[in-house]
Amino acid sequence: MKLKLLALLFFVGSVSLFAQDYFPINDGVKAKKNNNYTAFTNAKIYVTPTQIINKGTLLIQNGKVVQVGKSVNIPKNAIVEDMSGKSIYPSFIDVLSGFGVKLPKEASGGGRSAQYGPSREGFYWNDHIMPENDAISSFEYDKKQAEELRNAGFGTINAHIEDGIARGTGVLVALNDEASEAQRILSDKSAQYFSFEKSQASRQSYPGSLMGAMALMRQVYYDMDWYSKGNVNTKDRSLEALIANKGLTQIYVAGDNGNVLRADKIGDLFGIQYTILGGGDEYERIDEIKATNAKLILPVNFPDAFDVSNPYQAKYIALKDMRHWNLAPSNPKVLADNGVEFSITLHGLKSPKDLKDKIMKAITYGLPETKALEALTTIPASILGKSNEIGSLQPGSQANFLITSGDIFDKGTTLYENWVQGTKNIVESMDVIDIRGDYDLAVNGTTYKVSLTGDADKPKAEIKKGEEKVDSKIDYSADWLNISFSEDNIGSYRWVAQVMPGANSIKGTAVLPNGDETTATMTKTSPFEEKAEEDETAEKPQLMAVTYPNVGYGFKEKPKQESILFKNATVWTGESILENTDVLIKNGEISKIGKDLRAGGATVVDATGKHLTAGIIDEHTHIAALAINEGGHNSSAEVRMEDVIDPKDVAIYRDLAGGVTTAQLLHGSANPIGGQSAIIRMKWGESAEDMVFDNSPKFIKFALGENVKQSNWGSYSRFPQTRMGVEQVYTDYFQRAKEYDEKKKSGEPYRHDEEMETLAEILNGERFISCHSYVQSEINMMMKVAEKFGFRVNTFTHILEGYKVADKMAEHGVGGGTFSDWWAYKYEVNDAIPYNAAIMSSQGVTVAINSDDAEMSRRLNQEAGKTVKYGGMSEIEAWKMVTLNPAKLLHLDDRVGSIEEGKDADIVLWSDHPLSVYAKAEKTLIEGKVYFDLEKDKMLRESIKKERNQLIGMMLNDNKKGGKSKTPVQSKKEEFNCDTL
């Protein structure tokens, strides 16, 4: 015990002085300040990644850098360490970690129904918003983990509670085992953290989706502002913490390129520039990433190659996942090339040990070493606002540095020591005597040939008697060498020796099989020769091209606007079908319709025997989205489908192949008041933002019936549970929205409420409702509620019993978007009939046929064809149900929906009558750009095949070379419809 304490004191030595001067001491004398210096001389010193001193001196005292330079006056009371041939770097910093921080307890599984309210009092209304949390409260320094981190080169770690949407503040800690918390903790409010993931500590349902999390974050900031102005009489410790922490570095734990953009978008709204955790896939959308101006925290968990040795298994892997394997290691280089500042994090790596391999890989893929070093030192320091304390070896900085045998990212380099706050931590001994070589060991009259190879600090032994190999074991540490070996029929020999530097023979003691001890000497016969390693780095990695979007069927180049003359087609205008007609497309518009048009400079497409129509518009779909329902509340008017567009969904391409050019991405039907729609064009390859139909009117999804009253799954606690309750939800919300709007217009101060803002837009005629509906009673009710509040419902979607109240609908002025022939899937569709569209239409309702899913969306022309069968619609009226009518319902009929001069060139060339099951889309254009073309599709198929094959070959090669591999996985996007939770 005493000895241990003594040892501890000895280690602490220089340290204990600067911390707690004013603490009384009872275990010894207080006058024992150690103001000695340590000088590291003749080293190659990286003061910063770009300021490098050859043969320089680093002088430290009291845990800090005192001086660094070529000629440093070394004080007399200095311990001098000669670092000839060695390099010194600042220790690494990780901005994003859960080091030493306990996660909250997981909430126990709930009862029969979901939890809608919060579990806390005195805090924000949502349990997942916990800005009042601070990592320091649940922090416990973990020595074991600290050692692992130090061995990987880290000196300072910034940890936080990795849980919840608003996560509170982090703790910045030096990995100094010997210090007390008083010295180790550099900051207990180092940064403030956010994410899109709910807390495991609460089962509160809201938010249940990515778009819900975004909406919640926006509301939190609005509420913070409202609260800070003194408008709230009660105490909200969450908002108070948020206000108090406004000045800290704000970090968003986002996670992939889409989420990086989402986080930045929230920040932009409130003038906050987050530092954002990336996903390693930024290379796909580098221009957009760059435009955020955000600093990134970058994981380097490049995926392992898939094990593709089983061809049946390999087939399940999507091209995009194989390509990501190929391209991910180039991500840091791409960011560096584009001037995006980033720090590198261990986040996502299984062990800190893996870091060096990954960095080396990134460097092989073109990341400049300087950038790699900055990403681990100066940049994380600047993110944390601690550049004057950590991340460099400027005078005044903490003495956190690495001593290496050479270039830190070279394969053969050894990390010897990692000093943290002036405390020396040995990773590998610097003083190992290299004993490798061939020896003769004479024992008991026999000479054994001993060959020592491998690493200098962990040599391997091979022992031969004559030509015969003998089983042996070797242990070499702290200058003591133990070798034991055994021979059949004789027994085992043990030999132990202390190694002296520079000697050619090693003298030791041997224990013979019979137990006798004797002196035995090992004499060097030839020195060790390092075999030239296979030159792996010489092989430049072959990189696949990034496509738009970066998945199979992505384009190498984004489509460009073309001038095209379609000759001699059957042309479907809004109200008529023109035979043998030409259509000229120019500047993204339908420029001319007529006979014998002149091409000018346009490409001529012979459309003889073919049909030319406007692109199909799907009034109701759920493709190209990452989330559909925010069912955590009975109203989620504040969520936006535009926040969760997924431009990589192959359903977009398949829709194009089915002649679809525009669609409304609707929120699902989990609650009476759903979320805000996104109206998109199928611009395959464009960013989420650019896919949104420019200047499209605002829409919102409402829903009635079984889904909103949660009839078909076990939830019994959310209002409403009946159609009676549904009416009251609307009345309540619209009443409040009305009052909200009046207050807002009166000029009085008001609390900005994202939900009320949206509903007020409806009351003011600025936002339109698409209402999911089934039975006639509820359809009627919805219209009456609207009339009471002075607006009209724009569209009823599904509207399967619309035919029963078609007269009332016509009178109200609402349109209908319905299925052609769906029924029998729920109780409320018992009376759904395929004649619905025809009946509604006969009563003057504007009717569209829509899909609700990816399967039907891509053959809506056929679904329109069914209205000819069921109810005898004329062909032109039938066709309008998937083009002009949905355009009208979406208030876009002045721009799309029919072939008219001056409208946007969103058109489709069909091989046959477009309402026929025999028709195939041959070309699909949006704004004059060809997004789908049968011939181009053929080429894409070929290139997918070729690239898959190439990548599989590369993976097999990687597998053979001993690279790590993982089991094939088929990443499959869930097919969404209204009910998807």
Q: Which of residues 797-836 bind other proteins (CB under 8 A)?
A: 803-804, 806-807, 821-827, 829-831, 833-835
Q: CB-wise, 134 or 706, nearer to other proteins?
A: 706
Q: Which of 33, 315, 458, 464 binds other proteins (CB under 8 A)?
A: 315
Q: CB-wise, 250 or 773, nearer to other proteins?
A: 773
Looking at residues 44 to 73 of the shown chain, list those that interact with other proteins (rule: CB under 8 A). none
In sequence order, the 6+-apart residues with CB closer than 8 A to the CB of 632 are: 116, 204, 205, 206, 207, 208, 209, 212
Q: CB-wise, 192 or 820, nearer to other proteins?
A: 820
**Which of 540, 570, 617, 551 has its CA nearest to residue 849?**
617
Looking at residues 651 to 680 of the shown chain, list those that interact with other proteins (rule: CB under 8 A). 651, 653-654, 657
Confirm or reject binding of residue 949 to other proteins (CB under 8 A): no
Q: How far is the CB of 288 from other proteins (least distance, A)?
A: 23
Q: Give the span between the Cα atoms of 404 and 413, in whole angstroms.
A: 7
Q: Give the span between the Cα atoms of 416 and 408, in whole angstroms.
A: 11
Q: CB-wise, 858 or 903, nearer to other proteins?
A: 858
Q: Which of 153, 816, 865, 886 binds other proteins (CB under 8 A)?
A: 865
User: Any idea which residue has 């962990």 for tokens?
Assistant: 458
Looking at residues 692 to 751 of the shown chain, list those that interact with other proteins (rule: CB under 8 A). 706, 711-712
Helix (H, G, I), strand (E, B) or coil at 298: strand
Q: Within 10 A of 825 (CB to CB), how many other CB atoms are there?
A: 9
- DSSP letters, 691-745, are HBPTTPPEEEEEE-STTTTTTTTT--SSSPSSHHHHHHHHHHHHHHHHHHHHHHH
Q: How far is the CB of 199 from other proteins (least distance, A)?
A: 17
Q: How far is the CB of 279 from other proteins (least distance, A)?
A: 14
**Which of 627, 714, 712 has its CA nearest to residue 678?**
627
Confirm or reject binding of residue 318 to other proteins (CB under 8 A): yes
Q: CB-wise, 322 or 506, nearer to other proteins?
A: 322
Confirm or reject binding of residue 911 to other proteins (CB under 8 A): yes
Confirm or reject binding of residue 1 to other proteins (CB under 8 A): no
Q: CB-wise, 190 or 209, nearer to other proteins?
A: 209
Q: How far is the CB of 127 from other proteins (least distance, A)?
A: 20
Looking at residues 621 to 650 of the shown chain, list those that interact with other proteins (rule: CB under 8 A). 650
On whether the CB atoms of residues 704 and 728 are closer than 8 A, the answer is no
On whether the CB atoms of residues 300 and 377 are closer than 8 A, the answer is no
Q: How far is the CB of 482 from other proteins (least distance, A)?
A: 42
Q: How far is the CB of 927 from other proteins (least distance, A)?
A: 22
In sequence order, the 6+-apart residues with CB closer than 8 A to the CB of 336 are: 342, 367, 368, 371
Q: CB-wise, 728 or 843, nearer to other proteins?
A: 843
Q: How far is the CB of 50 from other proteins (least distance, A)?
A: 41
Strands 847-849 and 907-910, bridge-based pairing: unpaired
Confirm or reject binding of residue 918 to other proteins (CB under 8 A): yes
Looking at residues 533 to 562 of the shown chain, list those that interact with other proteins (rule: CB under 8 A). 551-553
**Which of 861, 885, 913 has its CA nearest to residue 574?**
885
Q: CB-wise, 228 or 309, nearer to other proteins?
A: 309
Confirm or reject binding of residue 969 to other proteins (CB under 8 A): yes
Q: CB-wise, 652 or 793, nearer to other proteins?
A: 652
Q: How far is the CB of 628 from other proteins (least distance, A)?
A: 17
Confirm or reject binding of residue 312 to other proteins (CB under 8 A): yes
Q: CB-wise, 47 or 317, nearer to other proteins?
A: 317
On whether the CB atoms of residues 977 and 853 are closer than 8 A, the answer is yes
- Per DSSP, 196 falls in state S
Q: Which of 55, 745, 941, 964 binds other proteins (CB under 8 A)?
A: 941
Of 57-65, 120-128, 613-621, 915-923, which segment contacts other proteins by CB under 8 A? 915-923
Q: Which residue type does 462 have?
A: E
Confirm or reject binding of residue 29 to other proteins (CB under 8 A): no
Q: How far is the CB of 894 from other proteins (least distance, A)?
A: 30
On whether the CB atoms of residues 600 and 637 are closer than 8 A, the answer is no
Q: Give the span between the Cα atoms of 957 and 639, in whole angstroms.
A: 47
Q: Is 625 exposed, middle or buried (0-12, 13-18, 19+ CB in 10 A)?
A: buried
Q: CB-wise, 101 or 838, nearer to other proteins?
A: 838
Q: Give the span between the Cα atoms of 376 and 396, in whole angstroms.
A: 19
Q: For the chain, how big is the Rg over CA atoms in Å?
A: 36
Q: CB-wise, 475 or 855, nearer to other proteins?
A: 855
Q: How far is the CB of 743 from other proteins (least distance, A)?
A: 43
Q: Which helix (H) or strand (E) segment is 169 a member of?
A: strand 166-169
Confirm or reject binding of residue 604 to other proteins (CB under 8 A): no
Looking at residues 840 to 859 of the shown chain, list those that interact with other proteins (rule: CB under 8 A). 842-843, 854-856, 858-859
Confirm or reject binding of residue 874 to other proteins (CB under 8 A): no
Q: CB-wise, 745 or 941, nearer to other proteins?
A: 941
Structure tokens that stand for 518 in this block: 């004797």
Q: Which of 494, 736, 869, 891 binds other proteins (CB under 8 A)?
A: 869
Confirm or reject binding of residue 309 to other proteins (CB under 8 A): no
Alpha helices in 769-858 (DSSP H): 776-788, 806-812, 836-842, 854-857
Q: How far is the CB of 658 from other proteins (least distance, A)?
A: 8
CA angle 435, 440, 442 (to 5 degrees): 120
User: What residues form DSSP beta bridges with 498?
Assistant: 480
